[in-house]
Structure 1
Amino acid sequence: MDTEHGMRHDWITTPVTAALLRGALDIEHTEHGVLPHRLPARARAQNTDGQLAMAESQPSGVRLAFRTRATAVELDALRTKRAYVGAPARPDGMYDLIVDGRPAGQGSVTGGNVVTVDLTAGTAEQEFGPAGTVRFTGLPAGDKDVEIWLPHNETTELIALRTDAPVEPARDPGRRVWLHHGSSISHGSDAASPTGIWPALAASLGGVELINLGLAGSALLDPFTARALRDTPADLVSVKLGINVVNLDLMRLRAFGPAVHGFLDTIREGHPTTPLLVVSPILCPMHEDTPGPCAPDFGGMSAGRLRFVAMGDPAERASGKLTLGVIRDELSRIVKQRAADDPNLHYLDGRDLYGETDSAELPLPDGLHPDAATHRRIGERFARLAFTADGPFGAGPGMVTP
């Protein structure tokens, strides 16, 4: 028995299993509970990069989905969040409650682990803390479909789901599945909540089920990511490529083109005729004509602001260094070449989602990542360009025209 806001509940604990999760490609059983992963075990075993390990364990787009008569729900979870020395405190990760397709509440958990990163020293220290509980009460009576979207920016181990009525896995919604891969912008950096990231907004407007493989800092044409996309059942696939390759100064033009071809070849092995949309980077002024790498502006951090600056030299484009302008030209060329034999392959210029006019009105606060309002704009634009009748993803059942 428990008391919450003057109400007493007979709690039923339901184990968190894969049947209750959507948007995860794998689950790991830990000493605390269940950890959703957005890359399968085979891909994780081939990865040695800590940034990608962190990103894929953050459950962007992952949600619990169940049907119940419960009017009260509790979820125990252990979070791991990041903090940066000298930067403003990051807000707590948000859980979004959706009941019968409509927003019905938000909450956060307390406690948890904190990884504190010192960008100037290149070090990270972890402090361990207790699990917390997010609680939702006052849900409408009667049978209903409930979703709890997990924080897009906090690694989240799920410990216990409690309700005051039995739970069963949600019914198949009968919607098309949209599988998307991209950078931190697709992951949801600086969005306000998990349903506020632009892919989640676009999926809601497009009437589709989202699997989000937006991986912060890690849209790098890795073969194991391509194989994960290949092996994941989906009705629609999109890949948003380019910004991370420039950020890290990872490769030159000679390597980039063949890597894109190989990435698309691998996806096509599992999705030979699926609509496949290649999206180039949104406008990012600092990297339009200046190569990477990018780095934190330590002068800004001393003033309590986290911003990024481009460290390359525009003259280096002549030696094959990549800028966003170069990448858009190359992606457009590759898609045009391949589309001659692949009528279900499409291209979208990212500046149609966020361009010069948008940058003047809604500049990227840290030079790289959109804020909540810009996520909404990008999501609405993507839905209009991709999911309407004449878009590459057509107009599927249940779509709402933005």
Structure 2
Amino acid sequence: MTTTGRHDLITTPVTADLVRGALDLERTERGLLPHRLPARARAQCDDGQLAMAESQPSGIRLALRTRATVVELDALPTRRAYAGVPARPHGVYDLLVDGRLTAQGGVPDGGHLLTVDLATGATSFRPGSPGTVRFEGLPAGPKTVEIWLPHNETTELLALRTDAPVEPAPPHGRPVWLHHGSSISHGSDAASPTAVWPARAASLAGVELINLGLAGSALLDPFTARALRDTPADLISVKIGINLVNLDVMRLRAFTPAVHGFLDTVREGHPTTPLLVVSPVLCPMHETTPGPTALDVTAAGGGQVRFQPMGDPAEVAQGKLTLRVIRAELARIVAARAADDPALHHVDGRDLYGESDADELPLPDGLHPDPATHHRIAERFAPLLRDLLPRPRPRPRPES
């Protein structure tokens, strides 16, 4: 149902049939809050980092069919800041018309502010007000419009306004790729939501993305495995490793059965779906040095965010995890399971970003790639999707 709103635009409530890429939509006093983990999973972990990551709508977008040339979206963002570090840019909204990036915008004012002290982990919260992102000058005529939400800002959706009626975009008919990973998959330091490497790879391969990249939270959690198990998909990929080192959460003895258990759970819902196990991309500081990972206080004092390893390479003998240890064990696990699971595949993360790439495009903070590296990883991953995903069925031609 639509009503006439301000500026003689038509106001349309944001409803579930307009939203893609979310696993859950929470009804709030103002509107809808997209989540990338279901409520049952969220109830099993009260970690603040996970709560922030899964509510940041990486890969989530509004998809509608309309003749509108003006589109406005009222939203209430939760912006993130780091104590002692220059303010981060506001989140970017990407507008696609018939699959092409046409415009970018943002909510210039308002929003909640979450401030994190990286040295201590302490947080503070300042409530704010909603704002509006506006796009105008869209091409005339019927078209599919997508608004990709900022990948790094929790975004409560309040209302949509247009100068022509809207309806949900029709079924896409493309294969669905379900991906889980860490902050790199979530989109840390990517330029915009469609420039996050899984979003870019999905676009290149012509597939539909559900992105469960969870910054700091790819920890082999059973509830994440169950979310993957219960989500329909034509291909699934799980990128495992770096966060286990960052947080120093387990040793090799626990890692191996945890990986098996995670894959077993996914396979309960997808027994024959192509499943890619992706090991970590190159991260020089943790190749042979275990975690935990900590903020470089000296760099932070100069207004820069850089990370450093705090483990001792000698501890690897006692089972501490490094990226090299994880890569070798993931390759062994997949090889052992593949005899009974021909749809299981292994991807060495260094084939996506390796030593020569690090020489050319070093990780700016020691941990996360820059926008150019997101593009490179996407270009290398897209062929894997094309090779393993079923081709979309051609739509019947309309009768003349």
Return the TM-score normalized by structure 2.
Answer: 0.95
Q: Deviations over 1:50-69 (max 9, x none)?
A: 10010000000000000001
1:94 aligns with 2:53: no
Partner of 2:161: 162
Aligned partners of 1:2 and 1:136: how far apart in 2? 16
Q: Secondary structure at the match of 1:122?
A: coil
Partner of 1:54: 52
Partner of 2:307: 308
Partner of 1:124: 123
The amino acid across from 1:29 in the alignment is: R
Structure 1 residue ranges, 4+ long, deviating more than 4 angstroms after superposition: 394-398
Aligned partners of 1:94 and 1:60: how far apart in 2? 11
Q: Deviations over 1:288-345 (max 9, x none)?
A: 0000000000110001110000000000000000000000000000000000000000
Aligned partners of 2:118 and 2:93: how far apart in 1? 28
Aligned partners of 2:275 and 2:393: how far apart in 1? 19
How far the C-alpha of 1:395 sits from its partner, in A, is 5.9
Partner of 2:213: 214
Aligned partners of 1:74 and 1:12: how far apart in 2? 10
Q: Secondary structure at the match of 1:73?
A: strand
Aligned partners of 2:94 and 2:46: how far apart in 1? 32
Aligned partners of 1:22 and 1:206: how far apart in 2? 18
Partner of 2:194: 195
Partner of 2:381: 382
1:297 aligns with 2:296: yes
Partner of 1:177: 176
Aligned partners of 2:75 and 2:23: how far apart in 1? 19
From 24, 30, 39, the counterpart of 1:41: 39
Q: Secondary structure at the match of 2:276?
A: strand
The amino acid across from 2:234 in the alignment is: D
Partner of 1:6: none
Q: Secondary structure at the match of 2:138?
A: coil
Q: Deviations over 1:146-194 (max 9, x none)?
A: 0000000000000110011111000111000000000000000000100
1:278 aligns with 2:277: yes
How far the C-alpha of 1:116 sits from its partner, in A, is 1.2
Q: Secondary structure at the match of 1:246?
A: helix
Query: CA contact under 8 A between 1:281 and 1:351: conserved in structure 2?
Result: yes
How far the C-alpha of 1:32 sits from its partner, in A, is 2.1
Aligned partners of 2:211 and 2:85: how far apart in 1? 28
Aligned partners of 1:311 and 1:381: how far apart in 2? 31
Unmatched segments (≥5 aa) in structure 1 = 4-8
Query: CA contact under 8 A between 1:26 and 1:41: conserved in structure 2?
Result: yes
Query: CA contact under 8 A between 2:279 and 2:330: conserved in structure 1?
Result: yes
Q: For residues 13 and 180 of structure 1, do their structure 2 counterparts lie closer, same or farther at Cα, with a shift above 3 Å needed? A: same
The amino acid across from 1:325 in the alignment is: R
Partner of 2:235: 236
The amino acid across from 1:252 in the alignment is: R
Partner of 2:254: 255
The amino acid across from 2:60 in the alignment is: V
Aligned partners of 1:395 and 1:168: how far apart in 2? 27
Query: CA contact under 8 A between 1:346 and 1:392: conserved in structure 2?
Result: no
1:103 aligns with 2:101: yes
Aligned partners of 2:175 and 2:273: how far apart in 1? 11
From 71, 74, 81, the counterpart of 2:72: 74
How far the C-alpha of 1:111 sits from its partner, in A, is 1.3
Q: Secondary structure at the match of 2:314?
A: helix
- Aligned residues: percent identity? 74
Aligned partners of 1:262 and 1:387: how far apart in 2? 25
Q: Secondary structure at the match of 1:282?
A: coil
How far the C-alpha of 1:263 sits from its partner, in A, is 0.3
How far the C-alpha of 1:82 sits from its partner, in A, is 1.0
Q: Deviations over 1:330-379 (max 9, x none)?
A: 00000000000000000000000000000000000000100101000000
Give the aligned CA root-mean-square deviation in angstroms.
1.3
Unmatched segments (≥5 aa) in structure 2 = 395-400
Query: CA contact under 8 A between 2:234 and 2:390: conserved in structure 1?
Result: no
Aligned partners of 2:52 and 2:28: how far apart in 1? 16
How far the C-alpha of 1:100 sits from its partner, in A, is 0.5
How far the C-alpha of 1:89 sits from its partner, in A, is 1.4
Q: Deviations over 1:14-37 (max 9, x none)?
A: 111110000000000112211000
Aligned partners of 2:133 and 2:365: how far apart in 1? 30
Return the TM-score normalized by structure 1.
Answer: 0.95
How far the C-alpha of 1:117 sits from its partner, in A, is 1.5
Aligned partners of 1:77 and 1:2: how far apart in 2? 16
Deviation larger for 27-36 or 9-18: 9-18
The amino acid across from 1:39 in the alignment is: L
Q: Deviations over 1:245-271 (max 9, x none)?
A: 000001000000000000000000000
The amino acid across from 1:216 in the alignment is: A
- Give runs of aligned pairs for residues 325-336 of structure 1, distance below 5 A: 325-336=324-335
Partner of 1:11: 9
Report how many residues are paired: 390
Aligned partners of 2:330 and 2:313: how far apart in 1? 20
How far the C-alpha of 1:393 sits from its partner, in A, is 3.7
Q: Secondary structure at the match of 1:192?
A: coil
Q: For residues 380 and 50 of structure 1, do their structure 2 counterparts lie closer, same or farther at Cα, with a shift above 3 Å needed? A: same
Q: For residues 355 and 257 of structure 1, do their structure 2 counterparts lie closer, same or farther at Cα, with a shift above 3 Å needed? A: same
Partner of 1:20: 18
How far the C-alpha of 1:392 sits from its partner, in A, is 3.6
Deviation larger for 86-95 or 313-322: 86-95
Aligned partners of 2:8 and 2:67: how far apart in 1? 13
Q: Secondary structure at the match of 2:22?
A: coil
